[in-house]
Amino acid sequence: MVDNVKIVDARGSFCPGPLMELIKGIRQEPVGTVLEVWSSDAGSAKDIPEWVKRAGQELVSSEQEVDVFKIRVKKIK
Amino acid sequence: MMKKIVILGGGVGGTVVANQVARAMTTEMKSGAIAVTVITESTQHIYQPMFLYLAFDRVVPAEAKKPERELLDRHIKIVTGIADRIDPESKQVRMTDGTAVPYDYLVIATGSRPAPEQVAGLSEGGHMFYTEESALKLRQALHDFHGGRIVITVGVPHKCPVAPLEFTFMVQEWAQSQGIADQTEIVYTYPIGRLHSLEPVAQWAEPVFAARHIEPHIFFNPELVDPVKKTITSLEGEVLDYDLLVAIPPHMGQDVIGRSGLGDAGQWIPTHRTSLQMEGSEDVFVLGDATNLPISKAGSTAHFEADVVASNLVNLLQGGLGSMRYDGKVFCFIETGLTKATYITFDYVHPPKPTEPTEMIHMFKLAYNRLYWLTPAGLL
């Protein structure tokens, strides 16, 4: 049960793009926040997990709903 | 009964809206049926892109500003001061001097501000060019620079997404022009896994970096600057040495948004992506950097959004439904050095396709820097 999920609606975002929108959210929100990025770019399913790993954050889930990718990331530090 | 339109912010977006509404409704304004008021902190209108050129000593500060009064239609009222709170309940903007400005429709065009303080040590150890003062300091630092390692770093979110590349290309050609290219290393860092958020731009930039010997470090989000040791550490754990650090700083929404409780943690206002109405509100519009929309924080974005907001305001005031929609359009020139430029344009659906840089596009960009004043005037 996650009680504090922030939606980051980055559909149609070519610039700054879904990953940059996620980084903005991680920078702004307190530790413990779960961010759910909505992206219409298939590349997000690869580049978001890659950054999450490098940044030491936690990938919670990654799903595709029709043409929208929904990727949940928890800020753990 | 008089309808009051209040625009909070005298930057490009706010000024375009005010002038377009005034031009469309001159008769109503003359008769007193409609009043348009712009609230702005400064009597001067600033054309911020000039600061990039100011850092390279290509222009002087006076070329980046004009009195806001001269740009606004004479029927528009200006209130110069600091807004303390926006109160959507009582439909007024309360000023720090205790006065209140009531509205029927409010346009929030407050922009954003650089927040270098979000990266420890950055204000002390680094330079930027996002304000007149900081651009002048960087101008002096470049003047005093005779070789060494220049590191460009990029905070998130930031205004003008092409600025990191532009500064990098320009400083590389500047070092050549100063005869210090052999003693100068240019190091470019970027927050995500390629050279620019726009994939076609990143692909285009890659061979250019190689040809110009610019050293890229991707997945680099600045976390800590040590001004004594002259090092910068990323959130991802990488440490770089520098002699001159130039930052595209992280940005925040304005404090009045935070004080009013209208923004998220970064003081960005939740905004409908096509109607540009503040979420949960029908009489408050938001444009430019002030929104939380996942689009470029750039003057052109504010300009294209202002066209939509102004059209809808005029339509609503004339009894319409205000159903014009913003399609996410952005246009940016990209300086690729001191003599050539390219440009990109895209929206929510269509990705950009950069074209080969040319001298002509660079000349047009320089010409636009002079023509800019026609944009806030609502003419271009």
- CATH number of the domain where residue A9 is located: 3.30.110.40
Q: Are residues B129 and B239 in the same domain?
A: yes
Given B329, B345, B365, the domain boundary residue is B329
Q: Which regions of B174-314 does DSSP assign to beta strands (E)?
A: 184-189, 214-217, 222-226, 231-234, 239-241, 244-248, 251-253, 284-286
Q: What are phi and psi of B321, to 5 degrees?
A: -105, -5
How is residue B118 written in tokens?
């979000």
Give the count of domains, chain B. Answer: 2
Whether B41 maps to a domain, the answer reads yes
| pLDDT tens digits for range B195-243 | 999 999 999 999 999 999 999 999 999 999 999 999 999 999 999 999 9
Give the count of domains, chain A. Answer: 1
Query: CA-CA distance, B42 to A40, in Å (whole number)?
Result: 40
CA distance A60 to chain B (A): 19
Q: Are residues B187 and B303 in the same domain?
A: no
CA distance B258 to chain A (A): 13
Given B329, B349, B371, the domain boundary residue is B329
Question: Residues 1-30, chain A: which have Cβ within 8 Å of B?
Answer: 8-21, 23-24, 27-29
Range of the domain at A34: 5-74
Query: In the A/B pair of chains, how many CB contacts fall below 8 A?
Result: 78
Residue of A nearest to B154 (CA): A20
Q: Are residues B241 and B220 in the same domain?
A: yes
**pLDDT for res B375:** 95
Residues of A marked as catalytic: 15
Cβ-Cβ contacts under 8 Å, B160 against chain A: none
Mean pLDDT score, A42-62 = 95
Residue of B nearest to A19 (CA): B192
Whether B362 maps to a domain, the answer reads no
Of A12, A21, A51, the CB nearest to B328: A12
Whether B77 maps to a domain, the answer reads yes
Given B208, B226, B250, the domain boundary residue is B250
Neighbour count for residue B193 (Cβ, 10 Å): 16
Whether B379 maps to a domain, the answer reads no
Cβ-Cβ contacts under 8 Å, B193 against chain A: 19, 47, 50-51
Q: What is the pLDDT along chain B (380 residues), one digit of tens a residue?
A: 899 999 999 999 999 999 999 999 999 999 999 999 999 999 999 999 999 999 999 999 999 999 999 999 999 999 999 999 999 999 999 999 999 999 999 999 999 999 999 999 999 999 999 999 999 999 999 999 999 999 999 999 999 999 999 999 999 999 999 999 999 999 999 999 999 999 999 999 999 999 999 999 999 999 999 999 999 999 999 999 999 999 999 999 999 999 999 999 999 999 999 999 999 999 999 999 999 999 999 999 999 999 999 999 999 999 999 999 999 999 999 999 999 999 999 999 999 988 999 999 999 999 999 999 999 998 88
Query: CA-CA distance, B204 to B198, in Å (whole number)?
Result: 10
Neighbour count for residue B70 (Cβ, 10 Å): 10
Q: Is the dihedral of CA A25, A26, A28, A34 positive or negative?
A: positive
Whether B355 maps to a domain, the answer reads no
Beta-carbon separation of B193 and A10 below 8 A: no
Q: Is the pLDDT of residue A1 over 70?
A: no
| pLDDT tens digits for range B183-202 | 999 999 999 999 999 999 99
What is the CATH classification number for the domain harbouring B97?
3.50.50.60
Whether B363 maps to a domain, the answer reads no
Q: Is the dihedral of CA A40, B249, B130, B243 positive or negative?
A: negative
CA distance A22 to chain B (A): 10
Measuring CA to CA, which residue among B205, B183, B185 is closest to residue B194?
B205
Range of the domain at B206: 116-250
Query: CA-CA distance, B33 to B206, in Å (whole number)?
Result: 57
